[in-house]
Structure 1
Amino acid sequence: MNDVPFVVKQRVFDAALMSTPLYGCESWLGADLEPIIRLYNCGIKQLLGVRKPTQKEVCYTEAGNPSLPDSVMLRHHKFFKKNVSEKGMGSLMIH
């Protein structure tokens, strides 16, 4: 796996490893992300090939990935912005 370019590893990480656990995260308002955060952090460290004690913030910077809570918040923002602009505020209200 060492001779595979980093860009390819990162695409596999995003597409194969993180797409399933994050499926539907737009609707996870107030959900506990801790189990997925641990998986995400471990995956980023494996992607970079660093040791476990390496600080996660350093790994996010090196990989060019946001933290998982930031990524989920971005997805929330995109989802609500799209739905509010397309359907109006009334479509998001619970009846």
Structure 2
Amino acid sequence: MLGEAGAPGRGIWPLTLYPGGGRGGTAEVVFQYLAARDPFTDRDLRLELLKRLNEIEGVEIPEGKLELRPNFRLALLETDHNRELLGETLAWFRDRWEKRDTA
């Protein structure tokens, strides 16, 4: 999680991971919460996050889920390529957050 420790409502995170108990688990994309946290109150930034996640093979989040909390299977991250894409997406997310006050 990014944000100030101990500052209620100041934290920001793109995903919540659920282990899944034998079913492989899921990653929940928290668009619903991002919509209330700068800089992701900007719909275009949330849409960019969605597009980046959809580059991961097997992830297919429709634009209609941009205000919700869709998920994808953690098993999709078994390939090096998919893990690399997720890493790049998380770095992009962090970069947008760190630059939020300079725009």
**More strand, by proportion:** 2
- Identify whether the pair has TM-score above 0.5, normalized to the shorter chain: no
TM-score with structure 2 setting the length:
0.27
TM-score with structure 1 setting the length:
0.29
**More helix, by proportion:** 1
